[in-house]
Structure 1
Amino acid sequence: MKNQLQQQFKQTYNKSATHSFFSPGRVNLIGEHIDYNGGLVMPCAVTFGTYLLVAPNDDNVFRFKSINFPEEGSIEINADHAKQGSLWYNYPTGVISYFLQQNKTLGGLDMLYYGDIPIASGLSSSASIEVVTAFALNQIFDAGFSKLDLVLLSKWVENVFIGLNSGIMDQFSVTFGEQNKALMLNCDTLEYEAVHTNLGEYVLAIINTNKPRKLAESKYNERVEECAEALQALKQELYIKYLCDIDTDTYNKYQHLLTDQTVNNRARHVIEENDRVKLAAEALSGNNLEEFGRLMYASHNSLRDLYEVSGIELDTVVEYAATNPDVIGARMTGAGFGGCAIALVKGSAFDKFSAEVTEYYTNKIGYAPSVYKSLIGNGVSELKQEQYA
């Protein structure tokens, strides 16, 4: 594929690319719907993502082309830029706009993008595009931004330029990701720990339900409000800023303050899930994959029963996984109501797992999922020539 990208660039721009970059997608291994409650998440970079090949031009323009999308675009340097509809190259345009607003000196570039992240799967294709563009500009033009600066500017693109309300986990994990390590991240303070994650004979199976996540935004806002209500109730007797400032034992002592059962359920998920992330870090550090798998199933059950954000599609994937002796753990990942589930599957049994989960899901849901295999990869980087051999 990498050689094909070089050839494609030459065919497109009639010259060779001078630089090549890669930014991964990400999955969250555990810690769902708690980032906005002061909790911990545990994402990791995956081994597929967004490739960017570039070469300078003398025309003082940025040209955007993608193998994935038919739309092509170009923008001038030092011009005011704004979002144009829902075009894919709004993301790199936003990054360039930020650099120019910060008075960074840029030159014209011909740019070719290719992504092997499934679009709209919840694996952060947008963050991958933002970060690979920001990293490339920072390297080529020696802009002096730190890795954390790149995370923050990419989040600015998502929130302000594009206008989507999202947290910082996606940009952080594709920037700071490390091979065979999960990142235990506090999204409020941005403190993190790289947790050694030896999957041994297992691989990460990512199962896209192929269900559009139409309910995710409205239900997300509803859950945020319910958590705020739970926090206010607990503040009657506890001095806390976030739900995740307390652990499960403390919550059990004060849950009587929450008189609404639904709100009680939401708070219980959040607080117990935060405890599960800490236990997961201990399990992974101790090479205890069985315990980590148990925590994955517990997380999914809580998201299904207490937080009510899974749905029949995600439940069907996890339901099948629990019957397969080659699977050690599985759960939904992301906002829910569609999107993806993940499972730890023996590498030698992956093809069999893929075929069987596809058959099981299709028989129950009526259409097929998409199944991908990944390891835990590195964050954004420049690819050297030998990596394209």
Structure 2
Amino acid sequence: MSHNLHQQFKKLFNSEATNAYFSPGRVNLIGEHIDYNGGLVMPCAITFGTYLLVAPNTEGKFRLRSINFEEQLDIDLQTTYTKQDKFWFNYPLGVMAHFLKDGHQLQGLDMLYYGDIPIGSGLSSSASIEVVTAFALNELFKSGYSKLDLVKLSKWVENSFIGLNSGIMDQFAVAFGEAEKALMLNCDTLDYQAVDCHLGEYLLAIINTNKPRKLAESKYNERVQECQTALAALQTELDIQNLCDIDAAKFKQYEHLITDQTVKNRAQHVIEENDRVKLAAKELAAHNLLEFGKLMYASHDSLSKLYEVSGVELDTIAEYAKNAPDVAGARMTGAGFGGCAIALVKKNAFDEFTKGITEFYTGKIGYAPSVYSSLIGPGVGVYNG
């Protein structure tokens, strides 16, 4: 991979790359749809990601190329940049805009990107591009940002430059990820704990439904509103700021305050899911992968029945996994309505699992999923491969 990328760089820019970087994608192991409710999430970095090769040029230009996309950008050094249509290079361009906004001096660079994250799969290819660009510029121009600064900067790119109203989990996970560790993160305070996550004889199977994701944004906003409605009802008798300020036992005492059953279901999922994240941290730290797997199934069941963000595609994957030998647990990951599911599968059974789930899913859905294997890898850094 590395050798080929260096060859491509030389072919495109007629010079050798001087620096190389890598930033991973991420999956959320457990803790879904609770980041906007003051709760805990548990993402980890995966071994797919974005590679960036760089060399300075003397032309005072940023020249951006990607092996994945045809669109190219050659742009002069300016005092600011604005978004250009919907091209991939808006993500690095937004990072450059933020560096300039903060008063940092930049110089001309030739930049080649290559990503092996499946596009549109919900594995955070955009956060991966943002963070690898920010990390590279910070190192090359000695800008003095901390890793947390780079996370916040990348979130600003996503929210303000690109215009997508997402949280901070993706950028945080790809920046702070550690090999064989999950990050138990409070999205409000950004306090986190790295939890041992030794998969042992298992690996992480990532199953992309290959379903186009069209409804996700409107439904996402609807769920946020329903959670706010539930919180307002509970606040008539409880002094809380977020749904996740209480546990499932306390919710049972006060759920009568929520009169709409759908809204009550949403709150129940959020509060119980937050409890599951805490349990998951304990089970992983104790290397109880089978117990962690049960929590994954419970999480999926709740997302499907109480929160209603799954769908027949993701449910089909969970159904197959539950009945397959050599699978410890499975669940949808991400916003839902398509995207990906994850499963803990024994390494020596991965090929058999892939064949079985492809046949089962295709028979039910009418087209095939894509199945990948990953370990839990490190966050952004210099690439020496």
Distance (Å, rounded) in 1 between the aligned partners of 2:303 and 2:158: 26
Aligned residue type for 1:103: G
- Say which SS state the counterpart of residue 133 (structure 1) adopts: helix
Distance (Å, rounded) in 2 between the aligned partners of 1:247 and 1:48: 35
Q: How far does residue 212 in structure 1 lie from its aligned partner after superposition?
A: 1.1
Cross-structure match for 1:81: 81
Distance (Å, rounded) in 1 between the aligned partners of 2:8 and 2:309: 42
Q: Is the 8 A contact 2:62 2:75 kept in 1?
A: yes
Distance (Å, rounded) in 2 between the aligned partners of 1:170 and 1:383: 20
Cross-structure match for 2:91: 91
> What per-residue deviation string (whole Å, max 9, x for no partner) do you get for residues 70-96 of structure 1?
000022212431101100000000000
Aligned residue type for 1:22: F
- Say which SS state the counterpart of residue 25 (structure 2) adopts: strand
Distance (Å, rounded) in 2 between the aligned partners of 1:98 and 1:213: 29
Cross-structure match for 2:319: 319
Q: Aligned residue pairs: how many? A: 385
Aligned residue type for 1:271: I
Q: How far does residue 22 in structure 1 lie from its aligned partner after superposition?
A: 0.2
**After superposition, where does 1:90-239 map in structure 2 within 5 Å?**
90-239=90-239
Mark the runs of 5 or more structure 1 residues left unpaired by the alignment. Answer: none
Q: How far does residue 213 in structure 1 lie from its aligned partner after superposition?
A: 1.2
Distance (Å, rounded) in 1 between the aligned partners of 2:367 and 2:79: 46
Distance (Å, rounded) in 2 between the aligned partners of 1:78 and 1:11: 27
Distance (Å, rounded) in 1 between the aligned partners of 2:175 and 2:80: 27
- Say which SS state the counterpart of residue 322 (structure 1) adopts: helix
Q: How far does residue 301 in structure 1 lie from its aligned partner after superposition?
A: 0.2
- Say which SS state the counterpart of residue 226 (structure 1) adopts: helix
Cross-structure match for 1:343: 343
Cross-structure match for 2:3: 3
Cross-structure match for 1:271: 271
Distance (Å, rounded) in 2 between the aligned partners of 1:57 and 1:223: 48
Distance (Å, rounded) in 1 between the aligned partners of 2:344 and 2:198: 12
Aligned residue type for 2:242: Y
> What per-residue deviation string (whole Å, max 9, x for no partner) do you get for residues 50-83 of structure 1?
0000000011111100000000002221243110
**After superposition, where does 1:271-290 map in structure 2 within 5 Å?**
271-290=271-290
TM-score computed with the length of structure 1 as normaliser = 0.98
Distance (Å, rounded) in 2 between the aligned partners of 1:123 and 1:69: 18
Aligned residue type for 1:190: L
Cross-structure match for 2:292: 292
TM-score computed with the length of structure 2 as normaliser = 0.99
1:305 aligns with 2:273: no
Q: Is the 8 A contact 2:80 2:101 kept in 1?
A: no
> What per-residue deviation string (whole Å, max 9, x for no partner) do you get for residues 277-329 of structure 1?
00000000001001100000000000000000000000001100011111000
**After superposition, where does 1:241-252 map in structure 2 within 5 Å?**
241-252=241-252
Distance (Å, rounded) in 2 between the aligned partners of 1:264 and 1:210: 31
Distance (Å, rounded) in 1 between the aligned partners of 2:326 and 2:215: 33
Distance (Å, rounded) in 1 between the aligned partners of 2:30 and 2:353: 22
Aligned residue type for 1:2: S
Aligned residue type for 2:230: A
Cross-structure match for 1:365: 365
Cross-structure match for 1:19: 19
Q: State the identity %.
A: 70
More off after superposition, 140-149 vs 74-83: 74-83
Aligned residue type for 2:41: V
Mark the runs of 5 or more structure 2 residues left unpaired by the alignment. Answer: none
Cross-structure match for 2:333: 333
Cross-structure match for 1:46: 46
Aligned residue type for 2:212: P
Cross-structure match for 2:356: 356
Distance (Å, rounded) in 1 between the aligned partners of 2:383 and 2:199: 25
Q: How far does residue 2 in structure 1 lie from its aligned partner after superposition?
A: 1.3
Q: How far does residue 14 in structure 1 lie from its aligned partner after superposition?
A: 0.7
Which segments of structure 1 move beyond 3 Å, counting only runs of 4 or more? none
Distance (Å, rounded) in 2 between the aligned partners of 1:48 and 1:258: 43
- Say which SS state the counterpart of residue 357 (structure 1) adopts: helix
- Say which SS state the counterpart of residue 44 (structure 1) adopts: strand
Cross-structure match for 2:62: 62
Aligned residue type for 2:42: M
Distance (Å, rounded) in 2 between the aligned partners of 1:132 and 1:211: 28
| Cα RMSD after superposing both structures | 0.6
> What per-residue deviation string (whole Å, max 9, x for no partner) do you get for residues 135-175 of structure 1?
00000110000000000000000000000010000000000
Distance (Å, rounded) in 1 between the aligned partners of 2:236 and 2:106: 54
Aligned residue type for 2:50: T
> What per-residue deviation string (whole Å, max 9, x for no partner) do you get for residues 355-376 of structure 1?
1101100010000000000000
